[in-house]
Chain A
């Protein structure tokens, strides 16, 4: 007897399963990974979403929970598996896997723990999606982006660290709040190392092209009576603060990663402060990744904006490069 399916539907085209055009994989279904996944789904950037993790039950549960929301979403295919074959043909792969920063733990302390995890993850990703763009979110992001670049063998324009995209978003939000405007109307860049040693480029901070420095020449310095420098400190302390209050951060990083993905998938050519290979810039001789304003389009990092930095800002970048290299050079099996 014919089934309901057969009685209801007359087939017309023999629709063989198509290759996805904008497949995004998220590695790691912890709080950060799932926040990234949800933001990607909300933004309708992917035609297929794949999730990978080692915790099989958690992975299946998260996938099922997302699928149950299908009526409200526009991403038809959501798949999950411990096996990396599920990630095949991804355009973008987001790596959030790894050990989480503990309360008070600095990002640099996470390093060797996460290197060992990446040695397992990265080769598999590249095996199944040799043409993808890799976005590294796990901390310490600048070092792990370097490691990902080394382990993947991909050209440097296809390995991006989420870097200071979030720091800059936080900076823009906090500065905008002080000025009573929306974050998107405050322009300011935090570059360099994601974390304690990030560099707020005060010379570029502006609203509608009006440079804050032209209104207050001391902005960002210790001499500044309005103490705008404190905003940068708040940005640096953000993660620690939030971790202390709620145990982890996820929403802001998820939104910021989806924002990067939008530029990549839609070939927008927008400029984002993300972690890229900076050797030979600003007198840096080491192979390290730091955040600079990068033009992102479908190939990855198409180009880098040459920001004029003050001497002390350049010095900070070079010091970060040195610090990162000191750790990187001692890493085993990279």
Chain B
């Protein structure tokens, strides 16, 4: 009947394929966000838990009527991930309640040793976006294991921290978070750096209105950064994990890359030789994202204390990284 109904002309070819490694809560939130934003024409999911991947993909495919992504695939092995433009890695063991990100490290390095070489084998020209924690170290690990040039390996880094920061500031000022601008850079997590000197609304620098902001801080602005740092722990305590916000943040980065938007996002990139950092570490700085990956890094003027903090994070990360068995 098919041949009676339809005369086929030519077959399609893929243009914007995204592979997501890991179908836990984070991976699936990334998947649904990307699917609902209509930015990829092919989404492939892969995980060690085969039945789970099959079930998740089936569930997504059943929603095809409401989506505009023509191909959603459950990879049986890495060959199914071939020719991806972007590979998003969410696989890895999850932060336990109270566990700091740095404690996850060696557990996740072993996982990456299985994943990264396989991804690069089948998608040698792709961009790797690392989400798994501790993201800055794991982005370094992915870079080392992949052999890719550093502009093609980035970590979701403080993109989410900055989104949370803007949300909280927006709440305080009763303004939509998209109209409040502020960057959190550096290490994703406890030692992230809020760049107060850049925080502004309509170009009005908040620090210029309130020079006390960081020190005495009568208004409770420093609290906001603390709340951002505590966010993940809080949400994990309440619902067991975080998913939605990170999914949305990853989808936003995916869009910039796939559509070559050249938006500026705080993501984890190789920061050696910036802000006096001498180690081969990845930290979040405002980066221009496009099809090649990280197209450029903004030379953001930082105050003495801020760049010191970055260098301190770099040293901490390096002290862990140098002992990793890669």
Chain A residues near B (Cβ < 8 Å): 1, 3-5, 7-9, 34-35, 38-39, 42-43, 57-58, 60-62, 64-73, 76, 166, 169-170, 172-173, 176, 178-184, 207, 210, 212, 215-216, 219, 226, 228, 238, 241-247, 249-252, 254-256, 258-259
Contacts and interface: CB of A to CB of B under 8 A. Distances in A.
Contacts of B88: none
B206 A57 contact: no
B51 A245 contact: yes
A258 B164 CA distance: 26
Contacts of B59: 242, 246, 249-252
B238 A58 contact: yes
Interface in B1-32: 1-2, 4-6, 8, 28-29, 32
B58 A242 contact: yes
B238 A69 contact: no
Contacts of A245: 51-52, 54-56, 58
5 contacts: A3-B218, A64-B238, A216-B4, A246-B54, A259-B65
A181 B6 contact: yes
B315 interface: no
B166 interface: yes
A20 B272 CA distance: 50
A183 B163 contact: no
Contact of B51 (A246, A254, A255): A246
B5 A8 contact: no
Contacts of A8: 173, 201, 204, 206, 209
B163 A69 contact: yes
A327 B52 CA distance: 34
Contacts, number: 191
A38 B246 CA distance: 13
B219 interface: yes
A73 B242 CA distance: 17
- Size category of the binding interface on chain B: 35 or more
B248 A241 contact: no
Nearest to A173: B64
Contacts of A219: 1
A61 B237 contact: yes
Contacts of B174: 5
Contacts of A68: 160, 163-164, 167, 231, 235, 242, 244-245
A178 B173 CA distance: 54
Given A57-B239, A246-B52, 14 more contacts: A4-B213, A5-B174, A38-B29, A42-B32, A61-B234, A62-B239, A70-B170, A72-B252, A170-B62, A173-B63, A173-B64, A176-B64, A215-B1, A255-B67
Given A246-B56, A252-B62, A255-B67, A69 B245 contact: yes
Contacts of A70: 163, 166-167, 170, 177
B1 A7 contact: no
A215 B32 contact: no
B252 to A, nearest CB: 5
B36 interface: yes
Residue among A68, A181, A226, A258 having the largest count of chain B Cβ atoms under 10 Å? A68
